Amino acid sequence: MKARTGFKYAGFGVLGVAAMFGFTYVVMLLWNWLVPELFNGPVVGYWQTLGLLVLSKIIFSGLGRGHGDRSSHIRKQRCEDDFPKSNWRQKYEAKMNGKVEEKDAKGEAEDGEVIVSE
C-alpha cells in the first residue's frame, strides 16, 4: 500500500512539472503571436519565457510562500484601526442595524421619541 502512495506522489510531481512546461509553452506562443505585431516587441524563446514568468512571480507575489488569507486579514484590520469609519458611514450602519429611527420632516422622531446618539 505504501508503494502505491509513493507512485501517486511521483505521478503528481511529474504531472505538475508537465503542467509548468505546458503553461510556459502556451505563454510563449501567445507572446510571439501578439507582442511582435501589436507593440513591435521581440520574439522570445522558451527559456526567456520561463524567465519572464519567474520574474513576474517574484515581482508580483514575492519570494516566500503566500499567506494571502492571513496577511490580507492583518492588513485589513490594521487599515481599519488607522482609518476610523467616517461619520456618515457610522450613521448608515447604525440605521441599517436598527439602532436609529428615522426623523420626520420637522426633525422629530416618530411617536414623540427623542433620538439619542450613542
**How many domains does one find in the chain?**
1
Q: Does residue 113 belong to any structural domain of this protein?
A: no
Of 51 and 83, the one with more pLDDT: 51
DSSP H or E run through 30:
helix 2-39
Q: Does residue 22 belong to any structural domain of this protein?
A: yes
Rounded CA separation 26/50 (Å): 11
Rounded CA separation 75/31 (Å): 35
* pTM confidence score: 0.51
Q: Does residue 50 belong to any structural domain of this protein?
A: yes
pLDDT of residue 86: 77
Query: Could you report the per-residue pLDDT of 70-100, keeping only the tens digit for each?
Result: 666 666 666 665 666 677 787 888 888 876 6
The alpha-carbon radius of gyration of the chain (Å, integer) is: 29
Q: Which domain holds residue 87?
A: 2-62+71-100
pLDDT of residue 75: 67
Residue 105 DSSP label: T
Q: Does residue 106 belong to any structural domain of this protein?
A: no
